[in-house]
Chain A
Amino acid sequence: MHLGVVDYGASNIHSVARALQSLGSKVSIVDTPDKFKSIDKLVFPGQGSMGSCIKKLNETEMINPLSDAIKSKPFLGICLGLQILFDSSEESKEKGLGVINGSITKIKDINKENLKIPHMGWNNVKIEKKHELFSGIEDKQFFYFVHSFVASNTETSITTTHYGEEFVSSLATENIFATQFHPEKSGEIGLKFLENFINWKI
């Protein structure tokens, strides 16, 4: 099993790579278009805005091989890696990859609960639908989040989390799984989740 972690030049990909390596996986950094071929499973950790991410993927000519891989290989998107799967985001003019219908919006109702943006820290993850990647993980466990924008109301939703509003903290469709939280920073439970991804058979 050969895992690839996409590096488009803006995100801290090393913590994801280190976490996967600590679980005994062979991990390669995918930073050029040709490196997608030899990869069995792909992880896309993202940071920053959708616009700058899409721009960088265009500049590095990785956008097409990435789109192809998302259609064919087990794929895990983390944080911005979840958001770019959607059609669009309030954050940027650039369109997302459009794999999932809908738009990413800024977290709402923060004033009502006197909440701070970004949503940063440990929050509960409520399991709405059973999925292999959550096997062995109990309902309402804490995962680590850092973000200001969210996905809501998608049929693909696997878990939800409350912060100002109910948002999608993870989703899945066929070979794609994506999380708003950072499993690589969520301690023991995060590692269990990543282990489930490594063992995930489609």
Chain B
Amino acid sequence: MSLAVRIIPCLDVRGGRVVKGINFKDIVDAGDPAEAAKRYDAEGADEICMLDIDASFEERSTTIETVKSIASQVFIPFTVGGGIKSLKDIDMLLKSGADKVSINTSAILNPDLIEEASKEYGAQCIVLAIDAKQDGEIWNVYTHGGKNKTELDAIEWAKKGQDLGAGEILMTSMDKDGTKSGFDNNLYMKLSNNLSIPVIASGGAGELSHLVDAVKLGKADALLAASIFHYEEISIKKVKQALQTEGFEVRL
């Protein structure tokens, strides 16, 4: 008996509203975050993830309100990411009801943040989020919501993150995100083979077979998707049934 493969619907939030874009561009409004989170919980989501895109200092209070609103209505693990820069930010989000925080750009600018946060709050609540784009044989890491290219290799950075104390890696393939053409399974397989912490695959879910393949071929421990669940193109239950048919443990 092993752990269930986790299905994690993601809410991309801006200014207290769910939004959705393609390849990090063309953002459209897609509803109220707490309502969406409640629906996902009822449909069998194993976790909820909320990413505050373009989170800025002015919008912090809105973010906190949204986190509180979701946490008071949804009783499954809840991860919050976006614009987290300091231990103080992490403390505030955990106190507002987040169970885990997802750190992206700030971890690259200041890797000590992962180490300090992991020591203070435990590895189980620190998720290192990475946005990566393939370039030949390697995957480059990008910061600031996919805007800036870095010199970092995604696999190496994930390993470093694990050593620093991250409890999970949330890897988004920028090549696949929003395209609905399937997950970047090569990336996830490489990642899983190099890590001992769980890998959450994100970006590219369009069909049922894509999600199954990310677990079967990519060896992902968890799958994160936004639009297919948001627009009810594929139900969480269907994904789990398909995984179960393939012999994977799921919570149904």
A residues neighboring B (CB under 8 Å): 12, 14-15, 18-19, 21-22, 47-48, 113, 115-116, 118-124, 142, 144, 146, 162-163, 184-187, 190-191
Contacts and interface: CB of A to CB of B under 8 A. Distances in A.
A19 to B, nearest CB: 5
17 contacts: A12-B94, A14-B95, A15-B71, A15-B99, A22-B75, A116-B198, A119-B3, A120-B3, A122-B4, A123-B3, A123-B4, A142-B251, A185-B77, A186-B75, A186-B76, A187-B76, A191-B75
Contact of B73 (A22, A121, A162, A184): A22
Contacts of A163: 1, 3
Most B CB atoms within 10 A — which of A19, A48, A146, A184? Answer: A146
Contact of A121 (B6, B99, B123): B6
B76 A185 contact: yes
Nearest to B3: A121
Contacts of A19: 75
B196 interface: yes
Contacts of A186: 75-76
B41 interface: yes
Interface of B: 1-4, 6, 41, 46, 71-73, 75-77, 94-95, 97, 99, 122-124, 167, 196-198, 221, 251
A118 B197 CA distance: 9
Given A14-B95, A19-B75, A116-B198, 18 more contacts: A12-B99, A15-B75, A18-B72, A113-B2, A115-B2, A119-B3, A121-B3, A121-B46, A142-B4, A142-B251, A144-B76, A146-B124, A162-B1, A163-B1, A185-B76, A186-B76, A187-B41, A187-B75
A115 B4 CA distance: 13
Contacts of B167: 118, 120
Contacts of A18: 71-72, 75, 97
Nearest to B168: A120
Given A18-B72, A121-B4, A144 B77 contact: yes
Given A14-B95, A14-B97, A113-B2, A120 B124 contact: yes
Contacts of A21: 72
A47 B122 contact: yes
A196 to B, nearest CB: 15
A111 B104 CA distance: 31
Contacts of B122: 47-48
B251 A122 contact: yes
Nearest to A18: B72
B41 A185 contact: no
A180 B97 CA distance: 21
